[in-house]
Amino acid sequence: MQTPWKYIIAALLAAPAYAQPLQTILTCPLADRTQVSLLAETNAQGQRLFVKLDSKIQPAFTDIPDFDFFGEVFLAKCVSSSLIFAFAYGSPYLKGVVLRKNPVTHTVERIDFAEKALPRWLYLGREQVRLVIPNIGYEVSAKFLVYDYVAGRGQLEGPAGIETPPNRRGFKVVRLE
């Protein structure tokens, strides 16, 4: 009996196939003593990014359906048990991610962002992560844009426009520049 094509195709799609070996760009320690790595497949078009977390490799950008685009890493840092990176891929916007494991619950917390400027501050709290980015796109009339992740709720709709950086109370604030 022959295997139906639909099962063969499903198996091929389920297993990640990389044209080039993945190279580690950066590995960061997390709050639960595990690690997260930013990986790249490089070719003539640039880099395609992946994240390795808890021994699983996945596309770096899970909030967009087509992860098959190439570009260049503009920011990659380990910051207070978190990984933050930003990527330019031809759009006027930089696409980026903040990843951490909550220091109390050890659950993965993630902020996906896309802005014209690089993030300036990362606010790290026990129940919340905030990313503050200067607003140079002016889609809203505010000086800064804030992306929020709240434990138990996930990433909040946004970003929110504000005129001054948020209050630091209850957060460890890290300047990213």
Determine, yes or no, domain membership for 6: no
Determine, yes or no, domain membership for 3: no
What pLDDT, in 10s, does the model give residues 109-130?
999 999 999 999 999 999 999 9
Determine, yes or no, domain membership for 140: yes
Closest to 114 (Cα-Cα) out of 81, 130, 91? 91
User: What total number of domains does the chain contain?
Assistant: 1
Q: What integer is the mean pLDDT of 161-177?
A: 95
Tokens coding 171: 């957060």
What pLDDT, in 10s, does the model give residues 8-27?
444 434 444 545 789 999 99
Domain that holds residue 120: 21-175
What pLDDT, in 10s, does the model give residues 48-82?
999 999 999 999 998 776 656 789 999 999 999 99
Determine, yes or no, domain membership for 2: no
Compute CA distances 159 → 73, 87, 114, 145, 148, whole Å: 22, 18, 10, 6, 8
Q: What integer is the mean pLDDT of 121-141?
A: 92
Determine, yes or no, domain membership for 10: no
Q: What is the pLDDT of residue 169?
A: 97
Determine, yes or no, domain membership for 37: yes
